[in-house]
Amino acid sequence: MKRWKTWVRKNQFAIKLEAGILLTIIVLTYLITHVVWFNGTVAGKSMEPNFYKGDHYFASQTATIRRGDIVVINPPGSSQQKLFIKRVIALPHDQISSHDDTTYINHHAIAEPYLDPYKARLRPGMLLTKNFTLHKLFGIRRVPQNSYFVMGDNRRQSVDSRHFNAVNRRDIIGVVKLRFWPLNRWTIY
């Protein structure tokens, strides 16, 4: 017992240093995985063929939201504890419409190359995205302040802003930055 006390006294600094490092690693890991980043799993088909059911991702809760980003949302009016994964199409104050499978933001056609794999599977003459305007859907001309218009890439199977209107910023949980599973589809966004 005396040798133990002597050893502890001689190595007190090293013991405190190691304990401090271990505690710092634990706290940082918790903060990174629960405050700054979180991981999730895709649950539905609304983002196919870009994300499939069972794909795993990391999302940043602090990232700036940009058009084209893939976001994790708490869907408006949902009483379930289910999060949706969608793509940001229009930003606050934007006008949005779709005509003949071309999406228009502020009357300018936007490129949506992420839809090409799905469009390639459609029969000639079929539309991926039904024609719409924000005014016809909800009687408004622009996406409200602090809100974002989101749609799934699998437009024919997605419940999104065309159904529940734009998503308020507070209902956007994070921006997907990394798909890490399956490994053969590992992607940084």
Question: Which residues are known to be catalytic?
Answer: 46, 86
Asked whether the beta carbons of 187 and 178 are under 8 A apart, the reply is yes
Three-class secondary structure of residue 6 per DSSP: helix
Asked whether the beta carbons of 48 and 174 are under 8 A apart, the reply is no
Q: What region does 74 belong to: left with phi over 0, alpha with psi -120 to 50, or beta?
A: beta
Measured CA to CA, the distance from residue 125 to residue 118 in angstroms comes to 14
Rounded alpha-carbon distances, angstroms, from residue 114 to 7, 28, 69, 124: 63, 35, 11, 19
